[in-house]
Chains A and B, each alone.
Chain A
Amino acid sequence: MKLTRTKSFKAFAEPAWTNNPINMQMLGICSALAVTIQLKTAFVMTLAMIFVITGSSLIISLMRKIIPGNIRIIVELGVIASLVILTDEFLRAYYYEISRLLSVFVGLIITNCIILGRTEGFAMSNPPHLAVMDGLGNGAGYGSVLLSVAFLRELFGSGSIFGYFVIPQSFYDAGYENMGFMLLAPAAFIIIGLMAWLQKYITGTGEEDR
Chain B
Amino acid sequence: MSDMAKSIVFAVCMCIVLALLLTTAATALQPRQQQNMEINRKKNVLLAVDLVSRDQRYTAEEITALYNEKIVLFGATQTGAIVEGDRVNDEPVLPIYLYIENGTIQAYIVPIETKGVWGMISGYLAIENDGSTVRGFTITRHSETPGLGGEIERQWFQENFEGKRIIDRHGTFVSVRVARGEVERQVPEEDRPHYVDGISGATLTGKLLSDGLKQVLYRYEPISIRFRDNRIEMPAG
Interface residues, chain A, with chain B CB atoms under 8 Å away: 34, 66-68, 70-71, 74-75, 78-79, 82, 85-86, 89-90, 92-94, 96, 100, 103-104, 184-185
A85 touches B22 (CB 8 A): yes
A103 touches B40 (CB 8 A): no
- Looking at B2-10, B95-103, B106-114, B206-214, the stretch in contact with chain A turns out to be B2-10
Contact A34 to B146, CB < 8 A, known contacts A68-B3, A70-B7: yes
* Complex CA distance for A2 and B159, rounded to whole angstroms: 60
Q: Which residues of A contact B204 (CB under 8 A)?
A: none
B18 touches A82 (CB 8 A): yes
Tell me, rounded to whole Å, the shortest Cβ–Cβ distance linking B167 to chain A.
34
Tell me, rounded to whole Å, the shortest Cβ–Cβ distance linking B15 to chain A.
8
- Looking at B28-36, B65-73, B80-88, B218-226, the stretch in contact with chain A turns out to be B28-36
- Nearest CB to that of A90 among chain B residues? B29
Contact A93 to B29, CB < 8 A, known contacts A70-B3, A103-B146: yes
Q: What are 19 contact pairs spanning A and B, CB under 8 A?
A: A34-B146, A68-B3, A68-B7, A70-B7, A71-B7, A75-B11, A79-B18, A86-B21, A89-B26, A89-B29, A89-B33, A93-B29, A93-B32, A93-B33, A93-B36, A96-B39, A100-B40, A103-B146, A185-B147
- Nearest CB to that of B37 among chain A residues? A96
Cβ-based interface call for B25 (8 A): yes
Tell me, rounded to whole Å, the shortest Cβ–Cβ distance linking A180 to chain B.
11
Tell me, rounded to whole Å, the shortest Cβ–Cβ distance linking B44 to chain A.
11
Give B34-48 as 1s and 0s: 1 = Cβ < 8 Å from A's Cβ atoms. 001101100000000
* Complex CA distance for A82 and B23, rounded to whole angstroms: 11
Instruction: Kindly identify, within residues 104 to 151 of chain B, every residue whose CB is under 8 Å from any CB belonging to chain A.
Output: 146-147
Q: A82 is contacted by which of B3, B11, B22, B37 (Cβ under 8 Å)?
A: B22
Cβ-based interface call for B14 (8 A): yes
Q: Which residues of B contact A74 (CB under 8 A)?
A: 11
* Complex CA distance for A79 and B21, rounded to whole angstroms: 11
Q: Which residues of B contact A78 (CB under 8 A)?
A: 14-15, 18
Q: Which residues of A contact B14 (CB under 8 A)?
A: 75, 78
A89 touches B10 (CB 8 A): no
A92 touches B36 (CB 8 A): yes
Tell me, rounded to whole Å, the shortest Cβ–Cβ distance linking B154 to chain A.
10
- Nearest CB to that of A99 among chain B residues? B36
Q: Which residues of A contact B33 (CB under 8 A)?
A: 89, 92-93, 96
Tell me, rounded to whole Å, the shortest Cβ–Cβ distance linking A97 to chain B.
8
B32 touches A67 (CB 8 A): no
* Complex CA distance for A70 and B33, rounded to whole angstroms: 38
A71 touches B10 (CB 8 A): yes
Given A71-B7, A71-B11, 12 more pairs with CB closer than 8 A: A66-B10, A68-B3, A68-B7, A68-B10, A75-B11, A78-B14, A85-B22, A86-B25, A89-B29, A92-B29, A92-B33, A96-B37
